[in-house]
Amino acid sequence: MSVRPLGYSALQIRLHWIVAALVILQLIFGEGIGDGFDARVDAGASGYTGAAIAHIVGGVLILLLVLWRLRLRLVRGVPEEGAGMQGLAAKVGHWAFYAILIVAPLVGLAAWFGASEEIAELHEMAKPVLIGLIAVHVVAALYHHFILKDGLLLRMKRPQ
Ligand code: HEM
Ligand code: HEM
């Protein structure tokens, strides 16, 4: 792929915001799966409470939508991240999102179906990592918008 697109497609933009909203909900309500999981591990119950089902469905949806986004990224491409260290930082940050949003749900599924506290602890490490990545990502987006005034935020608003 030699020619990079000038912007994101309407589908890429829609998927970005849907996944962002789902991830934020998952972070806010993540602990809701706890009661069901404890019942599963400690009492051998099925553990499928309403909150547990919502967490599992939300998490699997994120995994599928991120795989779809990854395919679009590889087939259609994404616009240039920028030059120098700043572009490199953006590239690393974006790929880090893909990595964690694929690994975290898979580890969550392994914890649930393996009824394993140890694997659940591994899965829970995704929380601070994601919060850190999102914080840096949002600060970078706002820095581009308000300080550099280069219209970068519009790339995730207007398809091109
Ligand atoms: C909360 C979860 C979020 C995740 C997981 C996320 C993830 C990503 C990823 C992976 C990209 C790279 C483009 C792609 O591959 O589609 C991207 C681009 C972008 N995101 Fe987010 N994002 C989130 C939230 C936000 C928020 C809240 C904002 C606005 C303040 C934002 C603004 C942008 C912008 C402007 C770009 C384009 C950057 C560029 O073209 O270099 N994102 N995001
Ligand atoms: C990207 C998707 C996901 C995110 C962002 C996410 C996020 C979270 C968060 C924030 C917590 C609470 C951590 C804490 O209490 O400190 C959690 C716990 C948990 N999640 Fe996920 N999750 C995702 C996908 C999944 C999936 C698909 C499953 C599959 C069943 C799952 C199973 C679990 C389990 C078993 C726990 C541990 C409950 C406990 O030990 O009390 N997660 N998750």
Ligand nearest 108 Cα, by number?
2
| Domain ranges, residue 85 | 10-155
Q: pLDDT per residue over 42-51, tens digit each?
A: 999 999 999 9
Helices and strands (DSSP H and E) totals, the chain: 7, 0
Q: Contacts by 142-148 with C-beta closer than 8 Å and gap 24+?
A: none
Residue 2 has what pLDDT?
A: 56
Q: pLDDT per residue over 102-136, tens digit each?
A: 999 999 999 999 999 999 999 999 999 999 999 99
Structure tokens at 94: 């974006």
> What's the 95 CA to ligand 2 centre distance in angstroms?
21
Is 7 in contact with 156 (CB distance < 8 Å)?
Answer: no
160 occurs within a structural domain: no
Is the minimum distance from the CB of 24 to ligand 1 under 6 angstroms?
yes
Report how many domains make up the chain: 1
Is the minimum distance from the CB of 54 to ligand 1 under 6 angstroms?
no
Fill in the amino acid letter for 149. K
2 occurs within a structural domain: no
Is 97 in contact with 132 (CB distance < 8 Å)?
Answer: no
Residue from 55, 97, 100 to probe ligand 2 pocket by mutation (most atoms less than 8 Å from CB): 55
pTM assigned to the model: 0.95
1 occurs within a structural domain: no
> What's the 82 CA to ligand 1 centre distance in angstroms?
14
pLDDT at 54 over 70: yes
Is the minimum distance from the CB of 141 to ligand 1 under 6 angstroms?
yes
Angle, vertex CA 94, rays to CA 91 and CA 97, nearest 5:
150
Is the minimum distance from the CB of 97 to ligand 1 under 6 angstroms?
yes
Neighbours of 106 (CB within 10 A): 13
14 occurs within a structural domain: yes
Is 36 in contact with 49 (CB distance < 8 Å)?
Answer: yes
151 occurs within a structural domain: yes
